[in-house]
Structure 1
Amino acid sequence: MIPKIDENIGILVYTTRFEGSSGVIKNRFEDFVVSEIISERVRISSSQNDGFAVYKLKKYGIDTTHALERIYRVHGARLKALGLKDASALTEQFVCSTGKNKILSDVTDAKISLTLIGFVSKPLSAKDMIGNRFTIKVTGLSADISAFNEYDRILNFYGYQRFGSKRAVTHLVGKALVQRRFSDALSLALSFISEYDDEKNTALRKIMSDPSKYAEALQQIPPGMDIEKILLQEMIAHQNPQKAFARLPLSMRRFYVDAYQSYLFNLTLSSAYQSGEELFEPQAGDVCYDKNSNLGRFEMDPNQKLAIPIIGYSYFKKTRFESILGRILENEEISAKDFYFKEMQELSSEGGFRSACIKCADFAACADTIKFMLPRGSYATIVLREILKPKDPLLAGF
């Protein structure tokens, strides 16, 4: 049986025969260890002392965005991450300076360790990060996880984090923005209530559901609700939902639209699997990624991986998934051209492609520990979902 939260984010199927081990992840930060892997093409020099500084950031109990904000606030250095790592894990990743002027000494506090490892001639970018290595301990297992051997039969769904995990609302906000329902988008961002939220936050969101109480809510906003604070301030000042969203950081505004595209992709993948489409082996005429992540048509190359369209204003329609995508757009009451924003052109998205299945490497499961490596953009929680098959993923630590 598919959990409700999975259905809410467009994940409607399991693709492995393994019955599921149940269990809980992330009981402790050190139970979920993530190490970033960068391309061998990156040359980090430890002998020179100029260029763009590269650091190894180790953290736990804090997400990447807030870790970098803390470093800037305390030490005055702007650093850029290659990928985002969440708070409920022990993570190690590369971050790079955005300028050549300020070099930090090693930094250590309760949640962060920052170590200078060298310099590069130009700033690192997300393309330099090729993947992540995971070591995950599972408690409360009900089955032998070493029996799981279907790691090559897992679809590349977007994971729970993409949608807000315990408060899966980002794609709903994104849909409202795509449909130009700015008032609804604002209401969802401020007052959408999740059964997994605590009583204090739920009570605050009930206050934020009433526009006449925005000033009262603003006085109660806790430090973690940065987005809500900005929206409330702008609504109190101007009473214009569209302008309020325009004041959010561009990365966050784009994230809402991206989250909705991610939901549509999950629906596409689920529907294609349910319809009997072959998703693990590309076929003649398919669009594929080659071993170097370049897109092209299928050429009988065993290294190619099937690519599925991501809906945007100019997404590529000529694939065997066209009818499935058409039905989804109709059911969602949107069209591809809706992803072009005349009102906020910076939010426009032309669409693209994403691999249909996960390329899970170096997989090993023994006793209560699972180890594997995933390419950039794939989610460990989607691999774990097929192994644990939890009745309630969020209560299981997902």
Structure 2
Amino acid sequence: MEKTVFNWNLKEKPEDFIVSEVAELPVNETGNFYLYMLIKRNMNTKEIAGRYRLGYAGLKDKNALTFQYVSSERFLGDILREKKDSETFFILYLLGKITKRIKIGQLKGNRFSIKLKHRDIKDQDWFINYFDIQRLERNFEKGRKVLMSIPPETSWKKLSWFENFYIDAYLSYLWNKTLMRFLSENFEGYRIYEKTFGFFIPFTDYRYLMENIPKFWPILGYKVKMKDYEIKVYSDILKEEGIDLKEILRILKDLRIKGDYRKTFLRAEDLEIKGDRIQFFLPKGAYATMFLKHIFK
């Protein structure tokens, strides 16, 4: 099978990777929460949100220039600026008031503007919707350990934020691995690698994907209903991990993790190349870096 190494250095500087959140948050001047635009460079969303008790819809890349909506119960001023050094800063810019605190997932998606380091790219707008390495790296193995540490007699266990984060990473890893197994057994294709992670990309086009690939693939959870072929793939992959499918489903039920269904493939919307930049929109939960892996030559 053909192998490609993804060596596109995306972020020589934060302005090479610009992310702008897209959400519908109607301003209501009688609301109880202040709506701010958070603009940050070389900083973590979670660090700023924790300091000012902000509600936010999603974590944005640290090594990037990002724009996202946040909410605050307190008035923090019309403009709040903090500069750590010439390379690191954030700005909170007041937009108005809203009725409810912003919660995780409360966004439509993100617009990306990324500097092209390679002009030789594929004429393609679709991609397999894998979780990318920033979700998995150093986290999925911790998630496996957390799951395997849950004692059999547990009726319910409240997890810490970090435990949930690590388990989500492991379930994402399993989603990737099972979908890759299914696709590689049914399609010709190649693998593209970044660091130690490989992603199978089929030789096909969007129309064939629509007609021949399941539109959704299950993320494990006790409420997810799986088809026979999905059960077989998950059972095989988990057996290689040294875990029984029934056992992990019992643990997930103890933890009240319901599971979900994730779209197997997506299209980058409003795709445009202007000068040395590529611009596009992706729905929430999708990775711009994964789309770039698919168009990379």
Shorter-chain TM-score tier? 0.7 to 0.9
* Pick aligned residue for 1:54 from 35, 49, 54: 35
Q: Does 1:254 align with 2:164?
A: yes
* Residue deviations 1:11-30 (CA, integer Å, cap 9, x gap): xxxxxxxxx8x642111111
Deviation at 1:339, TM superposition (A): 4.8
1:128 aligns with 2:106: yes
Contact 1:24 1:138 survives alignment (8 Å): no
Moved more, 370-379 or 126-135: 126-135
Residue 31 (str. 1) matches residue 16 (str. 2): yes
1:322 Cα deviation after fit: 2.9
> Counterpart in 2 of 1:243?
none
| Equivalent position to 1:180, from 142, 149, 153 | 149
Instruction: Tell which structure's C-alpha radius of gyration is larger.
Output: 1
Query: 1:44: which partner in 2?
Result: 27
Please give the alpha-carbon distance, in whole angstroms, between the structure 2 residues aligned to 1:337 and 1:351.
15
State the 1:123 CA deviation: 2.1
SS in structure 2 at match of 1:266: helix
Whole-Å Cα distance in 2 between the matches of residues 282 and 128 of structure 1?
Answer: 31
Query: CA 1:282/1:260 → structure 2, altered by over 3 Å: closer, same or farther?
Result: farther
C-alpha distance in 1, partners of 2:131/2:246?
20
C-alpha displacement of 1:312? 2.2
Return the offset for 1:354.
0.4
Q: How does 1:25-174 map to 2 (within 5 A)?
A: 25-39=10-24, 42-45=25-28, 48=29, 50-70=31-51, 72=52, 78-97=53-72, 99=73, 102-105=74-77, 106-110=79-83, 111-139=89-117, 141=118, 143-145=119-121, 148-152=122-126, 154-163=127-136, 168-174=137-143
For residues 364 and 269 of structure 1, the distance between their equivalents in structure 2, rounded to whole angstroms, comes to 29
The percent identity for this pair of structures is 30
1:33 match: secondary structure: strand
Mark the CA change 1:118 to 1:176 in structure 2 (over 3 Å): closer, same or farther: same
Q: Which residue of 1 aligns with 2:267?
A: 359
Write out per-residue CA displacement over residues 130-170 of structure 1, whole angstroms, 9 at most, x where no aligned residue: 1000000033x3x533xx22112x1000011102xxxx221
- CA apart distance, 1:53: 1.1
Q: How far did 1:122 drift?
A: 2.0
* Higher strand proportion (structure 1 or 2): 2
For the Cα contact (< 8 Å) 1:268–1:324, is it kept in 2? yes
What RMSD, in angstroms, separates the aligned Cα atoms of the two structures? 2.8
In the alignment, the residues of structure 1 paired with residue 30 and residue 3 of structure 2 have an alpha-carbon distance, to the nearest angstrom, of 54
TM-score, normalization by structure 1: 0.60
Conserved in 2, the CA contact under 8 Å of 1:132 and 1:373?
Answer: yes
Q: Which amino acid aligns with 1:384?
A: L
Match in the other structure for 1:329: 238
Q: Supply the distance in 2 between the matched residues of 1:2 and 1:176 (Cα, whole angstroms).
A: 31
Secondary structure, aligned partner of 2:12: coil
Q: What is the aligned length?
A: 265
Tell me what 1:372 maps to.
280
Shift of 1:55: 0.6
- CA-CA distance at 1:283 after TM superposition: 6.4
Shift in CA distance, 314/80, structure 1 to aligned 2, threshold 3 Å: same
The one-letter code of the counterpart of 1:316 is: K
How far apart are the structure 1 equivalents of 2:217 and 2:292? Answer: 22
Tell me how far apart the structure 1 counterparts of residues 20 and 182 of structure 2 sit (CA, whole Å).
Answer: 33
**Unmatched 5+ stretches in structure 2:** 84-88, 152-156, 188-203
Deviations 1:333-372 (A, max 9, x none): 2224425449x95x44232210000231011235431111
CA shift in 2, pair 1:322/1:340, >3 Å = closer
- 2: distance between equivalents of 1:177 and 1:95? 31
Letter in 1 for 2:67: E
Counterparts of 1:261 and 1:387 in 2: how far apart (Å)? 26
Residue 251 (structure 1) shift: 1.9
Deviation at 1:82, TM superposition (A): 0.5
CA 1:64–1:319 in structure 2 vs 1: closer, same or farther (change >3 Å)?
farther
> CA shift at 1:309, angstroms?
0.7
Summarize the Cα distance change of 1:56–1:318 in structure 2 as closer, same or farther, 3 Å threshold: same
Amino acid at match of 2:125: Y
Structure 1 window deviating more from structure 2 (379-388 vs 270-279): it is 270-279
Which residue of structure 2 lines up, in the alignment, with residue 386 of structure 1?
294
- The 3 A distance-change label for structure 1 pair 372 and 355 is same
SS at match of 1:53: strand
Q: Deviations for 1:206-233, whole angstroms, at most 9, x for unmatched residues?
A: xxxxxxxxxxxxxxxxxxxxxxxxxxxx
